[in-house]
Amino acid sequence: MKQKITIKAIAKELGVSNSTVSKALSDSHEISKETKDRIRAFAKYSNYKPNSLALQLRNQKTKVIGVIIPKIVHHFFSTVISGIENTATERGYNVMICFSNNSYKREVENLEVLTNGSVDGLLVSLSKETLENHESLHFQNLIENETPLVMFDRVDDRIQCDKVIVDDKGAGYKATKYLLETGCKKIGLITTPQHITVGALRRDGYERALRENGVFIDRKLIAEVDEEKVLHDEIALLFDQKIDAIFAVNEIYAAVAIRIAKEKGLRIPQDVSVIGFTDGLISEYSSPSITTIVQHGYTMGKQAAELLLDRIENKNNIKEPQTKVISSNLKVRESSL
């Protein structure tokens, strides 16, 4: 880690007393505007982080918690936020939310904005870019300042903090096992490219269920579709393989699969069973309604907020960071037997 610059070093560099630097940084009336500007500019330039920030966060409670999430147009995160909001309100806290829009740069900016003395602690789900290309050092600084931090869903294992995650492998296993148990023989998988962790983990569960039941894992039955653009044609190819079931790792893939099945004159679930993931509004309201893995976003938000507030209020007797795993379950609806 980069050496931290101290008040002493700033004072030496600028030829002023330690006390002048300290007063300038705390905006004391005793220091002239000119001197303040010079000291602050240098402190900023040399990336000075006052220890007082951590102290302030610990001692002068703002009764606000900050949340950073990758994107908003996403039913799962909406339900997580509901869980966070309700828990925070019950315990007398307000919530401020920033979106990273899956950008590392935005995430770093969000963090600066939120930790600028305005929050008592942070709940974070990492951006895709951070997970793929960056170390999460910006969060390491928080840990060193003893600012309470809880990561949820998209977490970085290298950061020592409380975490709440979903059992994605288990969920993929449950969905696939259910399809096998209801008599399906050729189960197509619609998943993300392998570098998207959630897709990879759910696929892992799918493959384990097949292996355990002595079913050959056929690459031709697996469609890897990019999260951002749903590829109708890519999914349509699966149907050429005479599949009798589909497990889709999100609900939009499931909805598109149902549309294609209908276009091909296949009946759901008599000819093809479909299981999706997330249990958003599409799964609930489309006809046929879609059998789905339920992720319990609300519970995840609630547990993450509780972990954080317990840390903020020192109610947590366990010093070591904890990881809670939210297990998912299958909600059977019309699209499967």
Phi-psi bin for 291: left (phi > 0), alpha (psi -120 to 50), beta? beta
Q: Is residue 20 a contact residue for a copy of itself (CB under 8 A)?
A: no
Q: How far is the CB of 169 from a copy of itself (least distance, A)?
A: 26
Q: Is residue 59 a contact residue for a copy of itself (CB under 8 A)?
A: no
Q: Is residue 32 a contact residue for a copy of itself (CB under 8 A)?
A: no
Q: Is residue 102 a contact residue for a copy of itself (CB under 8 A)?
A: no
Nearer to a copy of itself, 43 or 95 (CB): 95
Output the six-digit token pair for 244: 């009798």
Nearer to a copy of itself, 72 or 325 (CB): 72
Nearer to a copy of itself, 74 or 331 (CB): 74
Closest by CA to 122, choosing from 114, 112, 130, 131, is 114
CA–CA separation, 222 and 243 (whole Å): 11
Q: Is residue 235 a contact residue for a copy of itself (CB under 8 A)?
A: no
Give how many residues touch a copy of itself by CB under 8 A: 44
- At CA 139, angle to CA 134 and CA 141, rounded to 5? 120
Q: Is residue 287 a contact residue for a copy of itself (CB under 8 A)?
A: yes
Q: Is residue 329 a contact residue for a copy of itself (CB under 8 A)?
A: no
Q: How far is the CB of 171 from a copy of itself (least distance, A)?
A: 21
* Dihedral sign, Cα of residue 291, residue 297, residue 298, residue 300: positive
Single out the segment in contact with a copy of itself by CB under 8 A; choices: 81-89, 122-130, 234-242, 313-321: 81-89
- At CA 70, angle to CA 69 and CA 73, rounded to 5? 100
CA–CA separation, 249 and 202 (whole Å): 7
